[in-house]
Amino acid sequence: DAKTTQPPSMDCAEGRAANLPCNHSTISGNEYVYWYRQIHSQGPQYIIHGLKNNETNEMASLIITEDRKSSTLILPHATLRDTAVYYCIVRVTNAGNNRKLIWGLGTSLAVNP
Amino acid sequence: NAGVMQNPRHLVRRRGQEARLRCSPMKGHSHVYWYRQLPEEGLKFMVYLQKENIIDESGMPKERFSAEFPKEGPSILRIQQVVRGDSAAYFCASSPSGTAERGYTFGSGTRLTVV
């Protein structure tokens, strides 16, 4: 069911950039890529989303390849509080124009001091 | 400016009992979504509601599960005659519109344990 694949785990040193990859090779033209994170079984926290263009906000940057088959979430200066499971998600639209998020298994990011 | 409020945070039910999970969306949000998360897995879509209407229930099991979002009050996810396999974390999200240009805001979830 999942439309995304991510590495199960990654490590990053505190203060360095964390680059989290995601493959979504079957994504359709009108399907957005969303990123959420979940800290220790809390509710998911929205990070960023995009369709074709690269996006940046106060939390992160999202780089989407030109063919849209993959993307990378960049946390520019990771802190210990960024340790979480990061989910790359495709938002699909059905025939009734209703949208829902299709989640994968995520990447468990450990930021180390 | 409270976020999405879910209660209870933890719910324990014996097999065969009913579970009622409540979700109050963010102020100004009229679109509500329910997701279920099993341990070590991502979230799975269950149902999408607007005030007084079920828009998409393609992820809901056909039996024992129902959802509503009345004109007044919170959205309710109801599970009748619970079984052990219903044990999971149930998350509610809300958005001001169906296009969710600013993403979906999630609550802290209700963790249901069936004993």
Predicted confidence (pLDDT) per residue in B18-57, tens digit: 999 999 999 989 999 999 999 888 899 999 999 889 999 9
Please give the residue of chain A at the shortest CA–CA distance from B33: A100
Q: Give the residues across from B94 on adjacent strands.
A: B32, B105
3-state secondary structure of B84: helix
Query: Which of A40, A46, A108 to probe the B interface (max B CBs under 10 A)?
Result: A46
Check whether B1 has a pLDDT greater than 60: no
Average pLDDT of chain A is: 92
3-state secondary structure of A80: helix
Give the B-side interface with A, CB within 8 Å. 4, 6, 33, 35, 40-45, 48, 55-56, 58-59, 89, 91, 93, 98-100, 102-109
Check whether A2 has a pLDDT greater than 80: no
Check whether A17 has a pLDDT greater than 70: yes
Site of tokens 């100004």: B28
Query: Which of B45, B91, B111 to probe the A interface (max A CBs under 10 A)?
Result: B45
Strand ranges inside chain A, DSSP E: 9-13, 18-23, 32-38, 45-50, 55-56, 61-64, 70-75, 84-93, 99-103, 107-112
For the beta carbon of residue A97, count every other beta carbon within 10 angstroms: 10
pLDDT bracket for residue A97 (50, 70, 90): confident
First to last CA, chain B: 36
Those residues whose C-beta lies under 8 Å from the C-beta of residue A40, and which sit 6 or more positions away, are A84
Query: What is the reported pLDDT for A76?
Result: 96
Burial group, residue B97, by CB count within 10 angstroms (0-12, 13-18, 19+): exposed
Predicted confidence (pLDDT) per residue in B58-111, tens digit: 999 989 999 999 988 999 999 999 999 999 999 999 998 777 767 889 999 999
Give the A-side interface with B, CB within 8 Å. 1-2, 34, 36, 41-46, 49, 87, 89, 94, 96-106
Q: What percent of chain A has pLDDT over 90?
A: 79
Query: What is the reported pLDDT for A1?
Result: 64
State yes or no: cis peptide before B70, omega within 30 of 0.
Answer: no
State the nearest Cα–Cα gap between A40 and chain B, in angstroms.
Answer: 11
For residue B107, which residues of chain A lie inside 8 Å, CB to CB? Answer: 43
Q: What percent of chain B has pLDDT over 70?
A: 97
Rounded to an integer, what distance in angstroms lies between the CA atom of residue B50 and that of residue B56? 10
Asked if the Cβ–Cβ distance from A43 to B42 is below 8 Å, we say no
Check whether A9 has a pLDDT greater than 80: yes
What mean pLDDT comes out for the span A65-76?
Answer: 95
Predicted confidence (pLDDT) per residue in A31-57, tens digit: 999 999 999 878 999 999 999 989 999
More confident residue, B41 or A82: A82
Query: What is the reported pLDDT for A16?
Result: 96
